[in-house]
Amino acid sequence: MDTDVIFPNMTSTLQVTGCHFGRKSPGWIYPKHHHHLYEVLYCQSGEGRMQIGADEILLGPGDWLFIRAGARHQMENAHTNNSAGDMKPIHHSRFDFFNIHFDIDDSELRRTLSQQEYRLIPHSKAATTELPAYVAKIEREMKHSLSATSLSAPSSSETRVTLTSVQKMALQAYILLIIQEIILLQSGEADSIPDVIPEVTMHKADTAHRIEEQLQTIILSEGSISQMAEELNLSRSQCTKIFKEIYGISPRQYVTEKKLNHAKQLLVSTNKTIEDIADELGYHSVSHFSRQFRRGTGLSPNQFRPRPMT
């Protein structure tokens, strides 16, 4: 008997806002901050010190760290040259790392990734996974741009990588595989993360996640954040405060970014008119949609849409 195995239709947007290889000298520090993006940090060499909330984590070569969206954190090179007669070789005192900032719109994945404030994956455990191999593959994909010249440039310099469409696709694929490995390791990391998360923090996180689920309905409708907050028995100000504390972004900013990403997808992958897209995203007028789109991208919807091949 003939049979077919049908996979479900899948549409999920991965937004990679920051992805880079860093090489930092002793004394380097990135001050405490937070953002609405998830973050992955891989220590290639040297030592890095992370402060996440009240916790301090020391990263050594081969260690990985995943940080939840909204968590306040600080990063620095753990090595200093303050000790008299410090003769430690410079290549050991540098802090070399691979860093990813990303967002993903799959609600189930977001819930899984947001369960804990951070996850430390020590090198001994990471070595049993494909994580090191994925970074090596990313380096090979970028070998023309990440040349020895650019990597040996002064620490204050910055090299912007230009990627082909195929390289962008490969980079996104490897980042998704890295995220998958981190999720699969989640169940075995109880010893590497705080045993107790304050109840108030857990409650706020759960509330923020419920708000995030409700915000998904506003993205494709004309519903208001005030109405949504009322349905959750929260005031508008409570809703904004809790969501921003966990995700580092206001509900209004979150909806705007999600609408922008969805608009980009529709402009690239469909033949829908600008009017239809504006209507689908709940904008009252095409002009309002166009203003918001230009504000977020620097281009009008027509300029952003790919032109047909002639």
Which of the four pLDDT bands, split at 50, 70 and 90, describes residue 195? very low
Percent of the chain with pLDDT over 90: 27
- Domains assigned to the chain: 14-79+89-152+163-191 (2.60.120.280), 199-304 (1.10.10.60)
Pick the closest to residue 51 from 29, 21, 80, 84 (CA basis).
Answer: 29
Question: Average pLDDT, stretch 272-286?
Answer: 89
What confidence score (pLDDT) does residue 145 get?
57
- 14, 30, 288 from 106: Cα distances, Å: 9, 30, 27
Instruction: Using alpha carbons, list the distances in angstroms from residue 166 to 23, 40, 162, 266.
Output: 26, 23, 12, 21
Predicted confidence at residue 42, as pLDDT, reads 97
Among the listed residues 231, 233, 254, 230, the one whose alpha carbon sits nearest the alpha carbon of residue 243: 254
Q: What's the token pair of residue 129?
A: 């996974």
pLDDT of residue 191: 44
Distance in angstroms between the alpha carbons of the first and the last residue of the chain: 46
Q: How many CB atoms lie within 10 A of CB 35?
A: 19
Q: At how many degrees (to 10) do helices 199-219 and 251-269 cross?
A: 40
- Residue 87 in this model has a pLDDT that exceeds 80: no
In the predicted structure, residue 149 carries a pLDDT above the cut 60: no
- Return mean pLDDT, the chain: 81
Query: Is residue 197's pLDDT more than 70?
Result: no
Looking at 144-158, 160-174, 241-255, which range is the least confident one? 144-158
Strands (E), 46-194: 48-52, 55-59, 64-67, 73-77, 95-104, 118-121
Name which residue leads in pLDDT, 230 or 48: 48
Confidence of residue 150 (pLDDT cuts 50, 70, 90): very low
pTM score above 0.85:
no
Is 164 buried (19+), middle (13-18) or exposed (0-12) by CB count in 10 A?
exposed
CA distance 104 to 169: 15
pLDDT band at 53 (very low <50, low <70, confident <90, very high): confident
> Taking the C-alpha atoms of 175, 176, 177 and 181 in order, what is their torsion angle to the nearest 10 degrees?
100
Greater model confidence, 73 or 246: 73
Task: Report CA-CA distances (Å) from 142 to 116, 152, 197.
Answer: 32, 16, 39
Give the residue, 22 or 112, on which the prediction is more confident.
Answer: 22
**E strand or H helix that includes residue 29:** strand 29-33
Please tell me the predicted confidence (pLDDT) of residue 146: 53
The pLDDT, as a whole number, for residue 204 is: 78
When mean pLDDT is compared across 124-138, 184-198, 244-258, 295-309, the lowest value belongs to 184-198
Of 123-127, 222-226, 276-280, 306-310, the range with the lowest mean pLDDT is 306-310
Binning pLDDT at 50, 70 and 90, where does residue 157 land? low
Does residue 9 surpass a pLDDT of 70?
Answer: yes
Top pLDDT among 46 and 11 is at 46
For 244-258, write each residue's pLDDT tens digit. Answer: 877 777 888 888 888
Q: What is the pLDDT of residue 221?
A: 67
Q: How confident is the model at residue 275 (pLDDT cuts 50, 70, 90)?
A: very high
Q: Which tens digit of pLDDT belongs to each residue from 201-238? A: 657 777 887 888 888 777 776 678 888 888 888 889 98
Asked whether residue 91 carries a pLDDT value surpassing 60, the answer given is: no
Q: Characterize the bridge pairing of strands 55-59 and 29-33.
A: unpaired
pLDDT above 80 for 268? yes
Instruction: Find out whether 95 and 43 touch, Cβ atoms under 8 Å.
Output: yes
